[in-house]
Amino acid sequence: MPDQATRPALLWFRNDLRLADHAALRAAMRGGRPVLPVYVLDDAAAGAWATGGASRWWLHHSLTSLAAALAKRGVQLVLRRGAAVDEIPRLARAIGAAEVHTAGAALPWARRLDRAVADALARDGVTFTRHRTTMLFNPETLRTQAGGSYGVFTPFSRACFAHEPPHPPEPAPARIQGVAPSDADQLNSDTLADWDLLPTRSDWAGGLRAAWTPGEVGAHRRLRQFLTDLLDGYAARRDVPGDDGTSRLSPHLAFGEISPAQIWHAATVALHRSAPGTERFLTELLWREFSHYLLWFHPELPEQPLRPDFARMAWRDAPADLAAWQRGRTGIPIVDAGMRQLWQTGWMHNRVRMVVASFLVKHLLLPWQAGEAWFWDTLVDADLASNSASWQWVAGSGADAAPYFRIFNPVLQGQKFDPEGEYVRRFVPELGRLDRRFVHAPWHAPAAELRAAGIVLGKDYPLPVVDLAAGRARALAAFAALRDAGT
């Protein structure tokens, strides 16, 4: 029987679908051990946060890319669908593994699953090690002077910039030694086709295919393009939804096709040459880190308001308004453009995300959890930490939250950041012929302008589901009542 040092290791991939800068992979390969790479689709363990529809499309293609990269290095990716607490120990026994290595994440359900898997493996004498592959820093090392966790972003970001920099990223290994099991039947793998991750009833993924290239190669191609062509103007262009001025790395990060450390080091090279926009970009990367940090210390973040008094908020129950928001039929052009961009491409510009979220929570007075759930199902970059932290920020219930009286005026936001109406016209073609003066508020357009543009409000394009002034006043009253009740 092989001794402990030469027995195989099982590598359990999760939201770290890459080979470069992968601490768990390097640990599994240490000493020349044979490695069995595994991915388990365990929807039951994730519960309400099982991978959403758009992300399942991405997952299919990301796993295809990962399997091909592993095959080039001489090893097969084993796919299993079911309970990871059963599948991981079963596969470890099949290869006589001494160790199991995997990613450590802030996800509450994943942390619970890790404990269960570790206990099951321990009964077989197999060690279980989690590695930091999805965050820049160990959250336990970032503490306030009083020893607590940070609840405000600015001091958190200062602490990160002052921290020892993330480790230099390591390249992907040229070759990986695979296992040679005595019973190959026990290592049978599902196929991705078995999992039905792609749309079947209707092909709604055409816009996703046109917009994205999932996988590690696509991630690095996008990073190079961003650093070469877009970083210099990032600070100004990132707020313009009609411009491709953002990194669009978020889905690659969400699936771990590129590590935050790889992005950090690539961007700091640009910083050393004083590229404009770099510090702002790094700050945005730290907002993602802050979101994961919050989830690490507040596992209730996806479901419960971080500020307990918000549990008493008098949200409306208005299914028709929610459906109008989801379909991009609110009658507010910048909101509808954002929601349609989301449906068509699985992504939405960050500035517009704030606008549509504020509109739902403030003008419509609908619970942030409803928006969070819709984003979870429709975003290709759905990330539980970023999604929940950002929705709570807009609602005013989270860490470093926007004050309740900060209510984005969607018309003014459109006029400021999409002054020519380019973004609106792209995703709301009904308004394509409307003059720029009225494209963000067509209800203000004279009848002659509407006729010239071929628009009948309420027929070709909906009337607003809420009067913006009245919605704002209603929100201010509700939030003020909540504040007063807590004093």
Instruction: Name the catalytic one among 264, 347, 391, 393.
Output: 391
Q: In sequence order, which residues have a C-beta less than 8 Å from that of residue 143 and are 6 or more positions away?
A: 149, 150
CA 126/CA 140 separation, integer angstroms: 26
* Residue 350 annotated to the active site: yes
Q: Are 372 and 388 in contact (CB under 8 A)?
A: yes
CA 28/CA 421 separation, integer angstroms: 52
Question: Which of 58, 54, 52 minimizes the C-alpha distance to 216?
Answer: 58
Q: In sequence order, which residues have a C-beta less than 8 Å from that of residue 30 and are 6 or more positions away?
A: none
CA 387/CA 384 separation, integer angstroms: 5
Question: Which of 322, 395, 345, 153 minimizes the C-alpha distance to 241?
Answer: 345
* Residue 376 annotated to the active site: no
* Residue 368 annotated to the active site: yes
In degrees and rounded to multiples of 5, residue 39 shows phi and psi of: -130, 130
Q: Are 361 and 371 in contact (CB under 8 A)?
A: yes
Instruction: Name the catalytic one among 12, 368, 376, 393.
Output: 368
Q: Are 362 and 472 in contact (CB under 8 A)?
A: yes
Give the three-state DSSP class for 251. Answer: helix
CA 355/CA 348 separation, integer angstroms: 11
DSSP state of 304: S
Question: Which of 393, 394, 373, 395 minimizes the C-alpha distance to 384?
Answer: 373
* Residue 315 annotated to the active site: yes
Radius of gyration of the chain (CA): 24
Q: Are 252 and 225 in contact (CB under 8 A)?
A: no
Q: Are 379 and 408 in contact (CB under 8 A)?
A: no
Instruction: Name the catalytic one among 170, 195, 204, 284.
Output: 284
Instruction: Name the catalytic one among 195, 204, 287, 343.
Output: 287
CA 7/CA 2 separation, integer angstroms: 6
Number of neighbours of residue 297 by Cβ within 10 angstroms:
15
Instruction: Name the catalytic one among 350, 422, 443, 449.
Output: 350
CA 54/CA 204 separation, integer angstroms: 9
- Residue numbers annotated as active site: 284, 287, 315, 350, 368, 391
